[in-house]
Amino acid sequence: MSLESVFTKNDLAKYPFLKETAQYLSPLDLQIEDFINSGMSQILDHAMERATSAIINLAVRPLINEQGTKYVIKDTQKEILSFPVALMLVSATENSLIKKRYALAEAKQASNELSYESKEFVFKVALDFGWQIIFTSADSAFDFALYFNDFLQNASRLHDAKWKLVNSKLSEGNVYLNKRDVVRLLQEEIKRRIEKRLATVSVSKYPPEISELADKLKTIASEHIGQTEMEFPKVVIQEAFPPCINMLYDAASKNHHLPHMGRFALTAFLVNIGMSSESVTELFKSFSDYNERLTRYQVEHIAGTRGSGTKYTCPQCSILQTHNVCKNRDDTCKRIYHPLKYYKIKSKMTQLNVPEKIDTTAKT
Protein backbone atom coordinates (compact mmCIF):
# COMPACT_ATOMS: atom_id res chain seq x y z
CA MET A 1 0.00 0.00 0.00
CA SER A 2 1.20 3.55 -0.67
CA LEU A 3 2.26 5.98 2.02
CA GLU A 4 -0.99 7.95 1.64
CA SER A 5 -3.13 4.87 2.23
CA VAL A 6 -5.81 5.29 4.85
CA PHE A 7 -6.87 1.65 4.68
CA THR A 8 -4.94 -1.62 4.81
CA LYS A 9 -5.20 -4.33 2.17
CA ASN A 10 -7.34 -6.32 4.58
CA ASP A 11 -9.70 -3.32 4.91
CA LEU A 12 -10.04 -3.12 1.12
CA ALA A 13 -10.83 -6.84 0.99
CA LYS A 14 -13.65 -6.28 3.47
CA TYR A 15 -14.82 -2.96 1.99
CA PRO A 16 -13.87 -3.09 -1.71
CA PHE A 17 -16.25 -0.25 -2.62
CA LEU A 18 -13.86 2.27 -0.98
CA LYS A 19 -12.23 4.79 -3.32
CA GLU A 20 -8.81 3.51 -2.37
CA THR A 21 -9.55 0.15 -4.03
CA ALA A 22 -9.37 1.83 -7.46
CA GLN A 23 -5.96 3.22 -6.50
CA TYR A 24 -4.86 -0.27 -5.50
CA LEU A 25 -6.16 -1.89 -8.69
CA SER A 26 -5.03 0.72 -11.17
CA PRO A 27 -1.35 -0.38 -11.51
CA LEU A 28 -2.47 -3.97 -12.17
CA ASP A 29 -4.23 -2.77 -15.36
CA LEU A 30 -6.43 -5.86 -15.58
CA GLN A 31 -8.79 -6.53 -18.50
CA ILE A 32 -11.80 -8.88 -18.62
CA GLU A 33 -9.85 -11.33 -20.77
CA ASP A 34 -7.21 -11.72 -18.05
CA PHE A 35 -9.77 -13.37 -15.80
CA ILE A 36 -10.92 -15.79 -18.47
CA ASN A 37 -7.69 -16.91 -20.08
CA SER A 38 -4.76 -16.73 -17.72
CA GLY A 39 -4.21 -18.35 -14.37
CA MET A 40 -6.71 -15.90 -12.86
CA SER A 41 -9.82 -17.93 -13.52
CA GLN A 42 -10.11 -18.54 -9.77
CA ILE A 43 -10.94 -14.82 -9.44
CA LEU A 44 -13.79 -15.25 -11.91
CA ASP A 45 -15.02 -18.28 -9.94
CA HIS A 46 -14.87 -16.31 -6.72
CA ALA A 47 -16.70 -13.35 -8.30
CA MET A 48 -19.41 -15.77 -9.39
CA GLU A 49 -19.65 -17.12 -5.82
CA ARG A 50 -19.89 -13.56 -4.55
CA ALA A 51 -22.73 -12.63 -6.92
CA THR A 52 -24.53 -15.95 -6.35
CA SER A 53 -24.37 -15.59 -2.58
CA ALA A 54 -25.63 -12.01 -2.88
CA ILE A 55 -28.66 -13.18 -4.85
CA ILE A 56 -29.46 -16.17 -2.64
CA ASN A 57 -28.40 -15.06 0.83
CA LEU A 58 -28.31 -11.27 0.54
CA ALA A 59 -24.74 -11.55 1.84
CA VAL A 60 -21.48 -11.91 -0.07
CA ARG A 61 -19.70 -14.09 2.50
CA PRO A 62 -20.40 -15.47 5.97
CA LEU A 63 -19.78 -13.32 9.04
CA ILE A 64 -19.09 -16.36 11.20
CA ASN A 65 -17.04 -19.39 10.13
CA GLU A 66 -17.77 -23.07 10.78
CA GLN A 67 -16.01 -22.95 14.17
CA GLY A 68 -18.40 -20.25 15.35
CA THR A 69 -15.74 -17.53 15.35
CA LYS A 70 -15.54 -14.39 13.20
CA TYR A 71 -14.90 -15.23 9.55
CA VAL A 72 -11.43 -14.15 8.44
CA ILE A 73 -10.61 -13.41 4.80
CA LYS A 74 -7.53 -15.49 3.99
CA ASP A 75 -6.77 -14.41 0.41
CA THR A 76 -7.21 -10.64 0.49
CA GLN A 77 -5.98 -10.17 -3.10
CA LYS A 78 -8.58 -12.61 -4.43
CA GLU A 79 -11.30 -10.92 -2.37
CA ILE A 80 -10.42 -7.42 -3.65
CA LEU A 81 -10.22 -8.51 -7.28
CA SER A 82 -13.47 -10.46 -7.12
CA PHE A 83 -15.44 -7.27 -6.42
CA PRO A 84 -15.01 -5.44 -9.77
CA VAL A 85 -15.40 -8.77 -11.59
CA ALA A 86 -18.65 -9.48 -9.72
CA LEU A 87 -19.85 -5.98 -10.67
CA MET A 88 -19.20 -6.84 -14.30
CA LEU A 89 -21.04 -10.18 -14.06
CA VAL A 90 -24.04 -8.58 -12.38
CA SER A 91 -24.04 -5.74 -14.88
CA ALA A 92 -23.95 -8.26 -17.75
CA THR A 93 -27.29 -9.70 -16.55
CA GLU A 94 -28.84 -6.35 -17.60
CA ASN A 95 -31.49 -7.02 -15.00
CA SER A 96 -32.32 -4.10 -12.76
CA LEU A 97 -33.62 -6.23 -9.88
CA ILE A 98 -30.52 -8.44 -9.81
CA LYS A 99 -28.41 -5.26 -9.77
CA LYS A 100 -30.46 -3.83 -6.91
CA ARG A 101 -30.25 -7.05 -4.93
CA TYR A 102 -26.50 -7.25 -5.43
CA ALA A 103 -25.99 -3.64 -4.28
CA LEU A 104 -28.18 -4.28 -1.24
CA ALA A 105 -26.27 -7.48 -0.36
CA GLU A 106 -22.89 -5.72 -0.59
CA ALA A 107 -24.20 -2.83 1.51
CA LYS A 108 -25.67 -5.12 4.17
CA GLN A 109 -22.45 -7.15 4.30
CA ALA A 110 -20.43 -3.96 4.81
CA SER A 111 -22.82 -2.68 7.44
CA ASN A 112 -22.61 -6.00 9.36
CA GLU A 113 -18.80 -5.89 9.19
CA LEU A 114 -18.73 -2.21 10.22
CA SER A 115 -20.75 -2.94 13.33
CA TYR A 116 -17.67 -4.83 14.66
CA GLU A 117 -15.27 -1.98 13.84
CA SER A 118 -14.11 0.86 16.08
CA LYS A 119 -15.65 4.34 16.00
CA GLU A 120 -12.41 5.58 14.43
CA PHE A 121 -12.71 3.11 11.56
CA VAL A 122 -16.37 3.98 10.93
CA PHE A 123 -15.31 7.64 10.88
CA LYS A 124 -12.72 6.92 8.14
CA VAL A 125 -15.33 5.15 6.01
CA ALA A 126 -17.73 8.08 6.44
CA LEU A 127 -14.97 10.43 5.23
CA ASP A 128 -14.52 8.24 2.14
CA PHE A 129 -18.06 9.28 1.19
CA GLY A 130 -17.26 12.94 1.81
CA TRP A 131 -19.49 13.18 4.88
CA GLN A 132 -19.08 16.17 7.14
CA ILE A 133 -18.78 14.31 10.40
CA ILE A 134 -16.96 14.92 13.67
CA PHE A 135 -16.50 13.06 16.93
CA THR A 136 -18.45 14.40 19.87
CA SER A 137 -16.81 15.21 23.19
CA ALA A 138 -16.03 12.34 25.54
CA ASP A 139 -18.87 13.21 27.93
CA SER A 140 -21.54 13.21 25.19
CA ALA A 141 -24.19 10.49 25.05
CA PHE A 142 -23.54 10.34 21.28
CA ASP A 143 -20.51 9.22 19.26
CA PHE A 144 -20.76 11.54 16.24
CA ALA A 145 -22.20 14.81 15.00
CA LEU A 146 -23.15 14.56 11.32
CA TYR A 147 -24.00 17.53 9.09
CA PHE A 148 -27.78 17.43 8.59
CA ASN A 149 -27.54 17.31 4.77
CA ASP A 150 -25.57 14.05 4.88
CA PHE A 151 -28.05 12.75 7.44
CA LEU A 152 -31.08 13.63 5.31
CA GLN A 153 -29.64 12.25 2.09
CA ASN A 154 -29.58 8.78 3.66
CA ALA A 155 -32.20 8.87 6.42
CA SER A 156 -34.90 9.97 3.96
CA ARG A 157 -34.89 6.41 2.59
CA LEU A 158 -35.57 4.92 6.03
CA HIS A 159 -39.14 4.92 7.19
CA ASP A 160 -38.85 4.33 10.89
CA ALA A 161 -39.97 7.34 12.93
CA LYS A 162 -36.56 7.47 14.63
CA TRP A 163 -35.03 8.71 11.35
CA LYS A 164 -37.27 11.79 11.13
CA LEU A 165 -35.29 14.95 11.71
CA VAL A 166 -37.81 16.10 14.31
CA ASN A 167 -37.04 13.00 16.37
CA SER A 168 -33.28 13.55 16.26
CA LYS A 169 -31.00 15.62 18.45
CA LEU A 170 -30.11 18.54 16.21
CA SER A 171 -27.76 21.35 17.10
CA GLU A 172 -26.05 23.96 14.90
CA GLY A 173 -26.77 22.06 11.70
CA ASN A 174 -25.50 18.72 13.03
CA VAL A 175 -27.46 15.61 13.92
CA TYR A 176 -26.11 13.70 16.94
CA LEU A 177 -25.84 9.97 16.41
CA ASN A 178 -24.32 6.86 17.92
CA LYS A 179 -22.09 4.46 15.99
CA ARG A 180 -24.90 2.05 15.20
CA ASP A 181 -26.96 4.78 13.54
CA VAL A 182 -24.02 6.02 11.49
CA VAL A 183 -23.38 2.45 10.30
CA ARG A 184 -27.04 2.13 9.26
CA LEU A 185 -26.83 5.39 7.30
CA LEU A 186 -23.58 4.25 5.70
CA GLN A 187 -25.40 1.14 4.48
CA GLU A 188 -27.64 3.40 2.38
CA GLU A 189 -24.67 5.37 1.08
CA ILE A 190 -22.76 2.17 0.15
CA LYS A 191 -25.81 0.77 -1.64
CA ARG A 192 -26.10 3.96 -3.71
CA ARG A 193 -22.41 3.93 -4.63
CA ILE A 194 -22.61 0.33 -5.81
CA GLU A 195 -25.85 0.94 -7.74
CA LYS A 196 -24.13 3.88 -9.45
CA ARG A 197 -21.13 1.75 -10.33
CA LEU A 198 -23.37 -0.97 -11.75
CA ALA A 199 -25.13 1.63 -13.86
CA THR A 200 -21.86 2.88 -15.31
CA VAL A 201 -20.09 -0.41 -16.08
CA SER A 202 -19.68 0.06 -19.78
CA VAL A 203 -18.71 -2.87 -21.93
CA SER A 204 -19.88 -2.80 -25.54
CA LYS A 205 -19.77 -6.58 -25.92
CA TYR A 206 -19.13 -9.13 -23.19
CA PRO A 207 -17.01 -12.19 -24.00
CA PRO A 208 -19.21 -15.30 -24.36
CA GLU A 209 -17.84 -16.75 -21.09
CA ILE A 210 -19.12 -13.70 -19.20
CA SER A 211 -22.51 -13.72 -20.93
CA GLU A 212 -22.84 -17.41 -20.05
CA LEU A 213 -22.15 -16.71 -16.37
CA ALA A 214 -24.59 -13.77 -16.44
CA ASP A 215 -27.27 -16.13 -17.79
CA LYS A 216 -26.49 -18.52 -14.94
CA LEU A 217 -27.03 -15.68 -12.46
CA LYS A 218 -30.40 -14.94 -14.07
CA THR A 219 -31.42 -18.58 -13.69
CA ILE A 220 -30.27 -18.61 -10.07
CA ALA A 221 -32.25 -15.43 -9.43
CA SER A 222 -35.37 -16.82 -11.05
CA GLU A 223 -35.12 -19.98 -8.92
CA HIS A 224 -34.39 -18.22 -5.66
CA ILE A 225 -36.28 -14.99 -5.94
CA GLY A 226 -39.08 -16.51 -7.92
CA GLN A 227 -39.15 -14.03 -10.78
CA THR A 228 -37.71 -14.70 -14.23
CA GLU A 229 -36.31 -11.42 -15.51
CA MET A 230 -38.17 -10.09 -12.47
CA GLU A 231 -39.64 -7.09 -14.20
CA PHE A 232 -43.36 -6.50 -14.01
CA PRO A 233 -45.78 -4.15 -15.75
CA LYS A 234 -45.92 -0.65 -14.30
CA VAL A 235 -49.59 -1.04 -13.47
CA VAL A 236 -51.12 -3.84 -11.44
CA ILE A 237 -53.21 -6.17 -13.61
CA GLN A 238 -55.73 -8.12 -11.58
CA GLU A 239 -56.68 -10.33 -14.53
CA ALA A 240 -53.17 -11.77 -14.36
CA PHE A 241 -53.35 -12.78 -10.68
CA PRO A 242 -52.95 -16.52 -10.09
CA PRO A 243 -56.04 -18.28 -8.69
CA CYS A 244 -54.66 -18.48 -5.13
CA ILE A 245 -53.94 -14.74 -4.99
CA ASN A 246 -57.27 -13.91 -6.63
CA MET A 247 -59.05 -15.82 -3.87
CA LEU A 248 -57.03 -14.12 -1.14
CA TYR A 249 -57.53 -10.70 -2.72
CA ASP A 250 -61.25 -11.28 -3.03
CA ALA A 251 -61.50 -12.52 0.56
CA ALA A 252 -59.57 -9.49 1.84
CA SER A 253 -61.81 -7.09 -0.13
CA LYS A 254 -64.89 -8.75 1.42
CA ASN A 255 -63.51 -8.74 4.94
CA HIS A 256 -63.35 -12.54 5.13
CA HIS A 257 -60.86 -14.08 7.52
CA LEU A 258 -57.40 -14.83 6.07
CA PRO A 259 -54.97 -17.24 7.74
CA HIS A 260 -51.54 -15.85 8.59
CA MET A 261 -49.87 -17.49 5.56
CA GLY A 262 -52.65 -16.13 3.33
CA ARG A 263 -52.10 -12.57 4.56
CA PHE A 264 -48.36 -12.87 4.16
CA ALA A 265 -48.57 -14.39 0.67
CA LEU A 266 -51.06 -11.76 -0.51
CA THR A 267 -49.04 -8.85 0.91
CA ALA A 268 -45.71 -10.13 -0.40
CA PHE A 269 -47.22 -10.83 -3.82
CA LEU A 270 -48.78 -7.36 -4.11
CA VAL A 271 -45.71 -5.40 -3.00
CA ASN A 272 -43.52 -7.45 -5.35
CA ILE A 273 -45.63 -6.73 -8.41
CA GLY A 274 -45.42 -3.03 -7.58
CA MET A 275 -48.54 -2.16 -5.58
CA SER A 276 -47.81 0.66 -3.17
CA SER A 277 -47.65 -0.11 0.58
CA GLU A 278 -50.42 2.47 0.98
CA SER A 279 -52.81 0.54 -1.29
CA VAL A 280 -51.98 -2.79 0.34
CA THR A 281 -52.61 -1.33 3.81
CA GLU A 282 -55.93 0.05 2.55
CA LEU A 283 -56.94 -3.44 1.37
CA PHE A 284 -56.93 -4.75 4.94
CA LYS A 285 -58.93 -1.81 6.26
CA SER A 286 -62.27 -3.58 6.49
CA PHE A 287 -60.89 -6.37 8.71
CA SER A 288 -62.43 -6.46 12.17
CA ASP A 289 -58.96 -6.69 13.76
CA TYR A 290 -57.59 -3.84 11.59
CA ASN A 291 -55.05 -1.64 13.30
CA GLU A 292 -53.73 0.93 10.85
CA ARG A 293 -50.38 1.52 12.55
CA LEU A 294 -49.65 -2.19 12.94
CA THR A 295 -50.84 -3.10 9.44
CA ARG A 296 -48.76 -0.33 7.86
CA TYR A 297 -45.74 -1.49 9.87
CA GLN A 298 -46.19 -5.10 8.73
CA VAL A 299 -46.75 -4.17 5.07
CA GLU A 300 -43.73 -1.84 4.99
CA HIS A 301 -41.63 -4.50 6.71
CA ILE A 302 -42.54 -7.04 4.02
CA ALA A 303 -41.98 -4.41 1.30
CA GLY A 304 -38.47 -3.78 2.70
CA THR A 305 -39.05 -0.06 3.22
CA ARG A 306 -38.76 -0.47 6.99
CA GLY A 307 -36.41 -2.36 9.29
CA SER A 308 -33.59 -4.32 7.66
CA GLY A 309 -34.43 -3.17 4.12
CA THR A 310 -35.03 -6.76 2.97
CA LYS A 311 -37.98 -7.15 0.63
CA TYR A 312 -39.75 -10.46 1.23
CA THR A 313 -40.90 -12.47 -1.71
CA CYS A 314 -44.16 -14.39 -1.94
CA PRO A 315 -43.73 -18.08 -0.95
CA GLN A 316 -43.47 -20.52 -3.83
CA CYS A 317 -46.34 -22.81 -4.85
CA SER A 318 -45.10 -25.88 -2.93
CA ILE A 319 -45.18 -23.90 0.32
CA LEU A 320 -48.61 -22.45 -0.44
CA GLN A 321 -49.83 -25.98 -1.16
CA THR A 322 -48.56 -27.18 2.21
CA HIS A 323 -50.46 -24.35 3.90
CA ASN A 324 -53.62 -25.00 1.94
CA VAL A 325 -53.48 -21.60 0.24
CA CYS A 326 -53.13 -23.08 -3.27
CA LYS A 327 -56.70 -23.28 -4.59
CA ASN A 328 -58.38 -23.55 -8.02
CA ARG A 329 -55.20 -24.40 -9.96
CA ASP A 330 -55.59 -23.77 -13.66
CA ASP A 331 -53.61 -24.65 -16.80
CA THR A 332 -51.03 -21.90 -16.30
CA CYS A 333 -50.36 -23.28 -12.81
CA LYS A 334 -49.08 -26.48 -14.42
CA ARG A 335 -46.26 -24.51 -16.07
CA ILE A 336 -44.97 -22.65 -13.03
CA TYR A 337 -43.63 -23.14 -9.52
CA HIS A 338 -44.17 -19.64 -8.20
CA PRO A 339 -47.18 -17.25 -8.15
CA LEU A 340 -44.98 -14.37 -9.38
CA LYS A 341 -43.96 -16.42 -12.38
CA TYR A 342 -47.66 -17.01 -13.07
CA TYR A 343 -48.25 -13.27 -12.94
CA LYS A 344 -45.30 -12.62 -15.22
CA ILE A 345 -46.66 -14.96 -17.89
CA LYS A 346 -50.29 -13.92 -17.57
CA SER A 347 -49.64 -10.16 -17.44
CA LYS A 348 -47.73 -10.39 -20.73
CA MET A 349 -50.67 -12.17 -22.33
CA THR A 350 -53.22 -9.84 -20.77
CA GLN A 351 -51.40 -6.77 -21.95
CA LEU A 352 -52.13 -7.77 -25.50
CA ASN A 353 -55.77 -6.96 -24.68
CA VAL A 354 -56.97 -3.99 -22.61
CA PRO A 355 -56.03 -4.77 -18.99
CA GLU A 356 -58.21 -4.11 -16.00
CA LYS A 357 -56.15 -1.78 -13.85
CA ILE A 358 -56.92 -1.83 -10.18
CA ASP A 359 -54.19 0.41 -8.84
CA THR A 360 -52.60 3.28 -10.64
CA THR A 361 -50.36 4.14 -7.70
CA ALA A 362 -48.03 1.26 -8.46
CA LYS A 363 -44.37 2.12 -8.04
CA THR A 364 -42.39 2.69 -11.20
How big is the site for ligand SF4, counted in residues (CB under 6 A)?
10
Q: How far is the CB of 276 from ligand SF4 (least distance, A)?
A: 23
Distances (CA, A) of 57 to 60, 212, 308, 332: 8, 22, 14, 29
The phi and psi torsions of 94 (rounded to 5 degrees) equal 50, 35
**Residue closer to ligand SF4 (CB basis): 345 or 358:** 345
In contact, 247 and 327? CB cutoff 8 Å: yes
Residue 320 in contact with ligand SF4, rule: CB under 6 A: yes
Residue 251 in contact with ligand SF4, rule: CB under 6 A: no
First to last CA, the chain: 44
Residue 304 in contact with ligand SF4, rule: CB under 6 A: no
Contact pattern from residue 110 through residue 139 relative to ligand SF4, giving x for each residue in contact according to CB under 6 A and a dash for the rest: ------------------------------
Q: How far is the CB of 328 from ligand SF4 (least distance, A)?
A: 6
Question: What are the residue ranges of helices labelled H in 93-158?
Answer: 96-114, 119-128, 148-155
**What is the rounded distance in angstroms from the CA atom of residue 321 to the CA atom of residue 29?**
53
**What is the rounded distance in angstroms from the CA atom of residue 159 to the CA atom of residue 278?**
13
Residue 268 in contact with ligand SF4, rule: CB under 6 A: no
Residue 333 in contact with ligand SF4, rule: CB under 6 A: yes
Q: How far is the CB of 315 from ligand SF4 (least distance, A)?
A: 8
Q: How far is the CB of 226 from ligand SF4 (least distance, A)?
A: 11
The correct pick among 12, 185, 244, 266 for binding ligand SF4 (CB under 6 A) is: 244
62 dihedral zone (left: phi>0; alpha: psi -120 to 50; beta) = beta
**Residue closer to ligand SF4 (CB basis): 55 or 320:** 320
**What is the rounded distance in angstroms from the CA atom of residue 208 to the CA atom of residue 215?**
10
Q: How far is the CB of 79 from ligand SF4 (least distance, A)?
A: 40
Q: How far is the CB of 225 from ligand SF4 (least distance, A)?
A: 16
Burial class for 208, CB neighbours closer than 10 Å (0-12, 13-18, 19+): exposed
Stretch that binds ligand SF4, among 37-45, 158-166, 240-248, 304-312 (CB under 6 A): 240-248
Stretch that binds ligand SF4, among 53-61, 111-119, 242-250, 302-310 (CB under 6 A): 242-250
Residue 326 in contact with ligand SF4, rule: CB under 6 A: yes
Nearest to 341 by CA among 211, 244, 214: 244
In contact, 90 and 98? CB cutoff 8 Å: yes
The correct pick among 342, 344, 347, 362 for binding ligand SF4 (CB under 6 A) is: 342
| CA dihedral for 333, 335, 337, 339, sign (positive or negative) | negative
Residue 317 in contact with ligand SF4, rule: CB under 6 A: yes
**What is the rounded distance in angstroms from the CA atom of residue 296 to the CA atom of residue 298?**
5
**Site residues (vs ligand SF4, CB under 6 A):** 242-244, 317, 320, 326, 329, 333, 339, 342
